[in-house]
Chain A
Amino acid sequence: MPQVFQPRANPLVAVVLVSLALILLAIAGLMMAFGSSPYATGAGRVPAQPVPFSHEHHAGGLGVDCRYCHDSVGESSFAGVPSTDTCMTCHSQIWTNAQMLEPVRQSLVTGDPIEWVRVHDLPDFVYFNHAAHVNSGVGCESCHGRVDQMPLMRQDKPLTMQWCLDCHRDPAGALRPPGAVTEMGYEPGEDDWTGTALLQHYGIERDHLLECTICHR
């Protein structure tokens, strides 16, 4: 039986082997890139909501404080989404005939709640606690972005574990003095507080922030 492969096939083997390795590496690299791409993380996503609620108008234009609607943010893991009658405190007086508010009025009439689509959706094995963050000086903006410039609510950050850890490893840069937590557009250093002072003020120990069970239970 004649030789199937001629001697000149030898370099070909090397080329094939190397390119196989490269392809595998490329696939791995692509998968990693995909994993952190906005497509996979959902960053920048603007889901459709039953009512086109504008944070830009309410929080930015009118200057309504975040806690007027998200009232359990300081005491519970869940920030709270306003009940229909919270909306109606104002909208029973103004924009009473607006077509876009029809679902809100319907909800009040029928008693059926409005089903909002969750924008910031962490995996179910993550136990994020709003109260722990806002009481330690982490601003709303740090995770939710410039809500006051969003006509429709958008997921601003990737919300990956890497992104969480960036801050948990070095929280100083994300901290704000007590009065500025809900402020939009706060810049560190615009007052007398330094990162170290804030860490001390809130009693934050960085070691503690890296325990697995801080978030996973």
Chain B
Amino acid sequence: MHDMSSLNGHARVDLARIRESLASTSGARYWRSLEELAQTEEFGAFLADEFPAIARLWERPVSRRTTLKLMAASMALAGLTACGRQPTEHIVPYTYMPEHVVPGRPRFYATSALIGGYAHGVLAESHEGRPTKLEGNPDHPATLGALDARAQASVLSLYDPDRSSGIRERGDPSGIGSLLTELGERRRAWNADGGAGLAILTGTVTSPSETAAIGHLLERWPQARWYTHEPVDRDGVHAGTRLLHGRPLEPVYHFDRAAVVLSLDADFLQSQPGFLRHARDFAARRRPRDREGDLARLYAVESTPSITGAYADHCRRLAHPRIEACARQLARAFNLGVTAPLENAARPAWMTSLAADLRQHGAQAVLVPGDQQPAAVHAIAHAINHALGCVGRTVEFIEPVSGNIASSAEEADAGSLATLTRRMHGGEVDSLIVLESNPVYTAPADLAFAEAYRQVPWRLHWGLYQDETAELSHWHVPAAHALESWADARAHDGTAGLIQPLIEPLQGGRTALQMLSAIETSAEANARELLRQHWRQRRGGLDDFEAFWRRALHDGVVPDSAATPVRTRPRADWLADLPAPAAAPSELLLQFRPDPALWDGADANNGWLQELPQPLTKITWDNAALVSPALAEARGLDTGDEIELAVDDRRVRFPVYVLPGQPRDAVTVHLGHGRERAGRIGNGVGRNAYALRSSERPWSAPVSLTATGDQHELATTQSHHSIEGRHMIRAADLATYREQPDFAHHVGEHVPAPEESLYPEPWPAEREPRHAWSMVIDLSACIGCNACVTACQAENNIPVVGADEVRRGREMHWIRIDRYFEGALDGPNMVFQPVTCMHCENAPCEYVCPVEATQHSADGLNEMIYNRCIGTRYCSQNCPYKVRVFNWFDYTSEQAKFPAPRPLNNPDVTVRAQGVMEKCTYCVQRIRSVQQRAGVEDRAVADGELQTACQQACPTQAIVFGDRMNPASQVSRLSEHPLNYAMLAELNTRPRTTYLAAVRNPNPALDEEEG
């Protein structure tokens, strides 16, 4: 994983040569990076150099004499390290033993994490009262047991020492008493004028109780106004359904019923509400292992490469405004009477084949418009859905889940941030209450929100952090984290769920209901009672409220609360309200996208999310301007060059990242970076894209781009190793698979695996095995979403190392997701391959360890014994998969640069110290605990009882783990599957982790046409 950024600046990638080289390739060729393709001399030298990363770090040469002295001293001192007595430890039992608690055994509580305001049902793991990990709630419709990276990382934010820790008045510490007194005074004023100058600003609110509580405030002070500002808004969804159906509705997709899907700039696998459910349902129709030869097909038209586009069988990449032209062009094929676009977005033949495929599948097809697309695209897409007859089957409409969705365009305008800012500038707002929103950072720059905010005479902010908005507020009240709160929230399909606290507020935060109640009554209230009151009223007439309450808390969902689909048809005159097609802008466009990990930036102080490699670019700790190879060629740009982007008169500098597949005429930047008051981790990381955004054109705007001549080294985990033409990735289309199911074994030059080894083979082991643990990863299902990476990080106490260490290739993740490109430079296909320790039966690492710190267990685990490791790193050198990571520095203790909060650590996994090698253990702590439990209960371990953390989090069930000695287990079945292949099998490592080759389902008609 040596990074090559040192070469940036002097070894520029020659894109013309790459094109030439790709054109001359016949057959599929997979590549990881442009540098590898370019095959520059420097790249060759880089690869030949044995320790490129280390050579760069040789900042101050050490003399031979000093080296010898240090070596002698460390030899002499090494023996002493084990000499000290352990420090005295205490056992602190409870004073009163809580019921059901068994010390040493975790308990799980059902609650919800909020993603963009929508509930993701989770089970929170608690060790004697300390929440340590979030897992998906199998009974929750939005997660079904899987969980995304963002929701999982929220447990780290719980322990964030930078969270706001107390009420502040004009920046100075204050108390609840003073706040309540102040609120009492304000209330007298609001009572007098009906709240004329009062405004409340929130994000998306799906919570039924909060919606009701804000409703009470508005009833009490009828002149008060509720404004909504969600930085990554979904206005297009509601405006589009309003246009088509006459009222705002929320589509709910059922991909388990879909055979053909068209995404119109919709990243429904990672961004849109319900994305985990989408991924689960859709992957179930895409896995050849479950559906012999009957796979769903995905078409994608997208403005920025996303994992949804990467998963598509056919992907067209167009600049953001041209998606509408595409929708219009398609609508013509369905004779919907939609005005044709001024310029076709795709070739008519392509469109005809697509339309024919959709029409052929009728009720089994579905169009998914993207959240960032305008109303017209949503209206047209759903009109086509109605024409296909799939409404009610693959897509249903429900009343909006969020409590603050305007029912008309006028109302939407009246409740917008733009209107609020206008009123603030006009002096019409004298009290502004901002609830869990950070508009000073996230408001579009043209609104000049900060100036307007300063003019409001009384400003109160309630939020988790002392953020940019808190800084400018008179009063700041710390919010309770979701894991400290009594609250509720609704999922994408309307299902309501309760949120229960796992721990008392660590920083004295207050829940949303407590805050709203304090505003209404200027008195303190009990958070749990407030929530119970709401549900008691809502469930009025319920005889046994206690039974309902306990059931709902236990399950994490309120029974039968999913919204009922509404029967709806397009309005007769919807076409009249459809805006006329606009000319696609000819100039260069700047597109805004939420960051895949940080989203709108509220979680910027979360180290796990900052260090999570972005799915396609593999950038960590930064955001870059994504530029197409064609544009880079035209402007002479290369990855790492710094450019200045100017929208109107606003300018921000960004480093360039050349991303194959980016539309030629559009540059994309991610929101959520460049925070100034996020905390010690998030401050000053990346550039603030909000500063270029305008309220009129929130998602794309014409831009001018100038190179500055400066360089900025991006911290990417993208591997710059040459894959030397080895066939790590194997993929084929459905036709090939049908013809030759075991095509994965006939890829490239066939190298038979050697039968004999120079070394004594540890397998079959001398000791008698009871199990043969093994893993199968299905490349047809992997969407590259990173959920497994964060799950592994949380389960195995993996530290955060920071951007500098990532640049040196020292990221500590035990599972990495390799991203491969295949095909043309401008429109490549992408494939993801999760790579983790293969637990080779003939493990090369084991032979070279001088102290036997890595060993083989009889059941096939490649064990890593931390307390034996002396850090020679020979094992890592000898590992052909490069899956071992080393603790170069102290990454875990309190003196570390990014210390992990100690209560967060999984008590069942050792926290590794400096100088120790580590790697994936197949979650051995889970294996042993299930084995021991089964032993105590005197039974065998059942298939599926044992899940590794990555497998559990995976939304697409791409990872299967189990016992190969049990012939009935899923993993045994899949090991025998014709698609199964081992990575680098020719090395005779006999890995226990194998892959199922990817099978794609392109449209044969289009294939010929494209070919």
Question: Is B72 positioned at the interface, with any CB of A under 8 Å from its CB?
Answer: no
- B-contact bits for A190-217, CB 8 A (1 contact / 0 none): 0000000000000101011011111011
With most chain B CB atoms within 10 A of its CB, the pick from A80, A125, A213 is: A213
Q: Say yes or no: A129-B932 contact (C-beta < 8 A), given A85-B95, A207-B767.
A: yes
Question: Is A113 positioned at the interface, with any CB of B under 8 Å from its CB?
Answer: yes
Question: Is A170 positioned at the interface, with any CB of B under 8 Å from its CB?
Answer: no
Q: Which residues of A contact B88 (CB under 8 A)?
A: 47, 117-118, 121
Question: Is A53 positioned at the interface, with any CB of B under 8 Å from its CB?
Answer: no
- What is the chain B residue whose CB lies nearest that of A50? B90
Closest chain B CB from A130 CB (angstroms): 8
With most chain A CB atoms within 10 A of its CB, the pick from B91, B861, B928 is: B91
Question: Is B855 positioned at the interface, with any CB of A under 8 Å from its CB?
Answer: yes
Distance in angstroms between the alpha carbons of A76 and B96 in the assembled complex = 19
Interface positions, chain A 104-136, Cβ under 8 Å from B, are 107-108, 111-118, 121, 123-125, 127, 129, 131-132, 135-136
- What is the chain A residue whose CB lies nearest that of B932? A132
With most chain A CB atoms within 10 A of its CB, the pick from B96, B104, B105 is: B104
Q: Say yes or no: A76-B90 contact (C-beta < 8 A), given A135-B935, A212-B857.
A: no
Q: Which residues of B contact A42 (CB under 8 A)?
A: 85
Question: Is B732 positioned at the interface, with any CB of A under 8 Å from its CB?
Answer: no
Q: Which residues of A contact B932 (CB under 8 A)?
A: 129, 131-132
Distance in angstroms between the alpha carbons of A124 and B91 in the assembled complex = 14
Asked if B909 and A75 sit within 8 Å, CB to CB, the answer is no
Asked if A121 and B866 sit within 8 Å, CB to CB, the answer is no
Closest chain B CB from A124 CB (angstroms): 7
Asked if B93 and A83 sit within 8 Å, CB to CB, the answer is yes
Q: Which residues of B contact A116 (CB under 8 A)?
A: 90-93
Q: How many A-B residue pairs have CB under 8 A?
A: 127
Distance in angstroms between the alpha carbons of A89 and B99 in the assembled complex = 16
Asked if B858 and A207 sit within 8 Å, CB to CB, the answer is yes
Question: Is B563 positioned at the interface, with any CB of A under 8 Å from its CB?
Answer: no
Q: Which of B85, B93, B866, B910 contacts A114 (CB 8 A)?
A: B93
Question: Is A84 positioned at the interface, with any CB of B under 8 Å from its CB?
Answer: yes
Question: Is A40 positioned at the interface, with any CB of B under 8 Å from its CB?
Answer: yes
Interface positions, chain A 56-83, Cβ under 8 Å from B, are 72, 74-78, 80-83
Asked if A82 and B935 sit within 8 Å, CB to CB, the answer is no
Q: Which of A82, A86, A211 contacts B863 (CB 8 A)?
A: A211
Distance in angstroms between the alpha carbons of A112 and B96 in the assembled complex = 10
Distance in angstroms between the alpha carbons of A117 and B858 in the assembled complex = 38
Q: Which of A80, A113, A208, A210 contacts B770 (CB 8 A)?
A: A208
Q: Which residues of B contact A84 (CB under 8 A)?
A: 93-96
Q: Say yes or no: A203-B938 contact (C-beta < 8 A), given A72-B102, A216-B866, A217-B921.
A: yes
- B-contact bits for A89-111, CB 8 A (1 contact / 0 none): 00000000000000000011001
Question: Is B865 positioned at the interface, with any CB of A under 8 Å from its CB?
Answer: yes
Asked if A82 and B768 sit within 8 Å, CB to CB, the answer is no
Q: Which residues of B contact A76 (CB under 8 A)?
A: 102-105
Q: Which residues of A contact B767 (CB under 8 A)?
A: 207-208, 210
Main secondary structure of the interface of B (DSSP, over half): loop
- What is the chain B residue whose CB lies nearest that of A112? B95
Interface positions, chain B 92-135, Cβ under 8 Å from A, are 92-97, 102-105
Asked if B105 and A123 sit within 8 Å, CB to CB, the answer is no
Q: Which of B90, B768, B770 contacts A115 (CB 8 A)?
A: B90
Asked if A108 and B85 sit within 8 Å, CB to CB, the answer is no
Question: Is B908 positioned at the interface, with any CB of A under 8 Å from its CB?
Answer: yes
- What is the chain B residue whose CB lies nearest that of A207? B767
Question: Is B63 positioned at the interface, with any CB of A under 8 Å from its CB?
Answer: no
Question: Is B634 positioned at the interface, with any CB of A under 8 Å from its CB?
Answer: no
Q: Which of A108, A121, A205 contacts B768 (CB 8 A)?
A: A205
Distance in angstroms between the alpha carbons of A205 and B768 in the assembled complex = 9
Asked if A83 and B95 sit within 8 Å, CB to CB, the answer is yes
Interface positions, chain A 126-160, Cβ under 8 Å from B, are 127, 129, 131-132, 135-136
Q: Which of B90, B105, B859 contacts A75 (CB 8 A)?
A: B105
Asked if A86 and B921 sit within 8 Å, CB to CB, the answer is no
- What is the chain A residue whose CB lies nearest that of B771? A208
Distance in angstroms between the alpha carbons of A131 and B105 in the assembled complex = 11
Asked if A217 and B91 sit within 8 Å, CB to CB, the answer is no
Distance in angstroms between the alpha carbons of A207 and B769 in the assembled complex = 8
Interface positions, chain B 748-766, Cβ under 8 Å from A, are none
Question: Is B81 positioned at the interface, with any CB of A under 8 Å from its CB?
Answer: no
Distance in angstroms between the alpha carbons of A132 and B928 in the assembled complex = 10
Distance in angstroms between the alpha carbons of A81 and B92 in the assembled complex = 8
- What is the chain A residue whose CB lies nearest that of B936? A135
Q: Which residues of A contact B93 (CB under 8 A)?
A: 80-84, 113-114, 116
Closest chain B CB from A104 CB (angstroms): 10
Asked if B924 and A113 sit within 8 Å, CB to CB, the answer is no
With most chain A CB atoms within 10 A of its CB, the pick from B90, B93, B768, B865 is: B93
Q: Say yes or no: A83-B861 contact (C-beta < 8 A), given A75-B102, A77-B104.
A: no
Distance in angstroms between the alpha carbons of A118 and B91 in the assembled complex = 6
Q: Say yes or no: A212-B94 contact (C-beta < 8 A), given A78-B103, A124-B910.
A: no
Asked if A211 and B857 sit within 8 Å, CB to CB, the answer is yes
Question: Is B24 positioned at the interface, with any CB of A under 8 Å from its CB?
Answer: no
Question: Is B86 positioned at the interface, with any CB of A under 8 Å from its CB?
Answer: yes
Closest chain A CB from B1003 CB (angstroms): 49
- What is the chain B residue whose CB lies nearest that of A161? B867
Closest chain B CB from A26 CB (angstroms): 15
Asked if A213 and B910 sit within 8 Å, CB to CB, the answer is no
Q: Which residues of A contact B649 (CB under 8 A)?
A: none
Question: Is B988 positioned at the interface, with any CB of A under 8 Å from its CB?
Answer: no
Question: Is B945 positioned at the interface, with any CB of A under 8 Å from its CB?
Answer: no
Distance in angstroms between the alpha carbons of A129 and B932 in the assembled complex = 9
Q: Which residues of B contact A217 (CB under 8 A)?
A: 908-910, 921, 924-925, 928
- What is the chain B residue whose CB lies nearest that of A78? B104
Distance in angstroms between the alpha carbons of A210 and B766 in the assembled complex = 12
Q: Say yes or no: A85-B910 contact (C-beta < 8 A), given A72-B103, A212-B865.
A: no
Interface positions, chain B 880-928, Cβ under 8 Å from A, are 908-910, 921, 924-925, 927-928
Q: List 21 A-B contacts (CB under 8 A).
A: A72-B102, A72-B103, A74-B936, A76-B105, A80-B102, A85-B95, A85-B96, A116-B93, A117-B91, A118-B89, A127-B925, A127-B928, A131-B932, A131-B936, A135-B936, A203-B938, A205-B768, A211-B861, A212-B863, A213-B928, A216-B866
Q: A residues bordering B, Cβ < 8 Å?
A: 31, 40, 42, 47, 72, 74-78, 80-86, 107-108, 111-118, 121, 123-125, 127, 129, 131-132, 135-136, 203, 205, 207-208, 210-214, 216-217
Given known contacts A113-B95, A131-B932, A212-B865, what 14 new A-B pairs fall within 8 Å (CB)?
A: A72-B104, A84-B93, A84-B94, A85-B96, A86-B97, A114-B93, A117-B89, A117-B90, A125-B867, A127-B928, A132-B932, A135-B936, A216-B866, A217-B925
Q: B residues bordering A, Cβ < 8 Å?
A: 79, 83, 85-86, 88-97, 102-105, 767-768, 770, 855, 857-859, 861, 863, 865-867, 908-910, 921, 924-925, 927-928, 932, 935-936, 938
Closest 10 CB pairs of A and B: A78-B104, A207-B767, A76-B104, A83-B97, A118-B89, A83-B94, A81-B93, A77-B104, A211-B857, A84-B95
